[in-house]
Chains A and B, each alone.
Chain A
Amino acid sequence: MDDVFKIGPFLISYKLIIIVLSSIFGYFALVIALKKIEIDRRLILDILLSSILILILAWKFGGILFNPKQILSNPLLILFITGNTATLFLGFILSTGYIFLKLYKNGVPILLFLDLISFSSLPFLLIYNLFTPMYGYPTRLPWGISLGSDNVLYHPVNFYFAIFIILISVYILREFKTIGNGILFMKASLLLGISGLVLTFISPQSNMIMGISPKQWGFAFLMTVGLVGLKKENSTSPKAKID
């Protein structure tokens, strides 16, 4: 599959279109969830959109902090240079910090916000995985996907993950009444972590860090967040009122 769509003289990244499409689905899922609870809708959406903007800006322009000498010697670099893992990490730290600060200032319970995030991220991940092919190891199973020639079929890892996400979403929706104490977020994290991790074992991994891939680190982190958070299941945090 090509990486870009060609529209006349313009090249538009396929991945970018999928990310925008997935974000739209995630946004509307969040709006629907917000309608069902008593909370300042505009405030939550503002915080979320601003944090995404901070993430994108830090990813793109974070190079100023990491390579100040290089950027100062050639300011044009700031336009040409693409973001990397370090600037993405910086973006996550800054946007997370911003979210916590805004929530604290406005008296919004953090656990409620985390629960709302799971309602937004599951549809996002579903759409993203449905349209982004990820090739696993070769398989003889009839639903294997090919790279063009039909000689070799590969596990459609993205579809497997999409199926897991649908199942997790159904489970989380059934538990909607518990929104507000962070349990939905913890459960979603744990289940996404387990399913994602299992799928990494049927797909080639690269760029290993201490013997495991960045994806596996990410899923292990999610699982750990879920496991540690669920230990606090009997938390006394107030639940949000449901209309």
Chain B
Amino acid sequence: MVKKGLNFLVILALLWAIIFTINKANSLPKNLKNVEAAPQVNFKIPSFSLTGIDSKNYSTDNLQRPLVINFWASWCGPCRIEAPELVSLNKKFHNKVEIYAINLTSSDTESDARAFAKEYGFDFPVLLDKNGQVANLYNVTAIPTTYFISRDGIIVDRIIGFGGKDVLKSKFQKLVNIEE
């Protein structure tokens, strides 16, 4: 039994070494540079520009740090549970990760969105998607939906729904680790 277990580990370790070497030689980032924009993991982020509740303009061009895009609405139950987690993660990853909280204003109201942001103390940009164009661009069919984007504009992960506090935190951490 022990011998079998040992065999298993040796073969798995050998396979790991082979795959690791091929992955390194494959130079993934070089291949990704030519990839087009699509709301899918490993593709470039579809670019957009929206106005925030602070009347400033925010866009996805020239990202200075990794970006987390969160689609939400004030009437959405899971968004209410997720909101305090986003605020706490913004504090934890301040200066390392940017958050854009995009309100689906086409199916919400601007005043409700503002009240929600105030209630939960959103201290990151809250953008208003008034005609639902950005939600369409990102194929948002359920909320909350969260995209995790590296500094070079590649989507590295996506969560549909609220995955829980720890899952959210681990995705933020992963985003920071990619950049380091």
Residues of chain A whose beta carbon lies under 8 Å from any beta carbon of chain B:
2-4, 11, 63, 66-67, 70, 74, 76-77, 80-82, 84, 135, 137-138, 147-149, 151-152, 197, 200-201, 204-208, 210-212, 216, 220-221, 223-225, 227-228, 231
Contacts and interface: CB of A to CB of B under 8 A. Distances in A.
A212 B161 contact: no
Interface of B: 4, 7-8, 11-12, 15-16, 19-20, 22-24, 26, 28, 31-32, 34-36, 38, 40-43, 77-78, 81, 139, 141-142, 156-157, 159-167, 174
A82 B165 CA distance: 11
A188 to B, nearest CB: 17
B19 to A, nearest CB: 5
B157 A206 contact: yes
Contacts of B141: 2-4, 11
A201 B163 contact: no
With a 10 A CB-CB cut-off, give which of B15, B28, B32, B142 has the most chain A CB atoms.
B15
Contact of A70 (B11, B78, B142, B165): B165
Contact of A224 (B15, B41, B78, B81): B15
A80 B32 CA distance: 34
A102 B7 CA distance: 28
A156 B40 CA distance: 15
A82 B158 CA distance: 13
B164 A81 contact: yes
Contacts of A220: 12, 15-16, 19
Contacts of B43: 135, 147
Contacts of B22: 201
Contacts, number: 107
Contact of B162 (A81, A135, A204, A225): A81
Nearest to B5: A228
A11 B156 contact: no
26 contacts: A2-B139, A11-B141, A66-B164, A67-B165, A76-B81, A77-B81, A81-B162, A81-B164, A82-B162, A82-B164, A84-B167, A147-B36, A147-B38, A197-B15, A204-B35, A207-B157, A211-B20, A211-B24, A212-B19, A212-B20, A212-B23, A220-B12, A220-B16, A224-B8, A224-B15, A228-B4
Given A3-B141, A206-B41, A220-B19, A82 B32 contact: no
Contacts of B28: 204-205
A228 B11 contact: yes
A81 B20 CA distance: 34
B7 A231 contact: yes
Contacts of A205: 23, 28
A212 to B, nearest CB: 5
A140 to B, nearest CB: 12
Contact of A66 (B12, B81, B166): B166
A70 B40 CA distance: 30
B36 A67 contact: no
Contacts of B166: 66-67
B23 A3 contact: no
A220 B13 CA distance: 9
B127 to A, nearest CB: 22
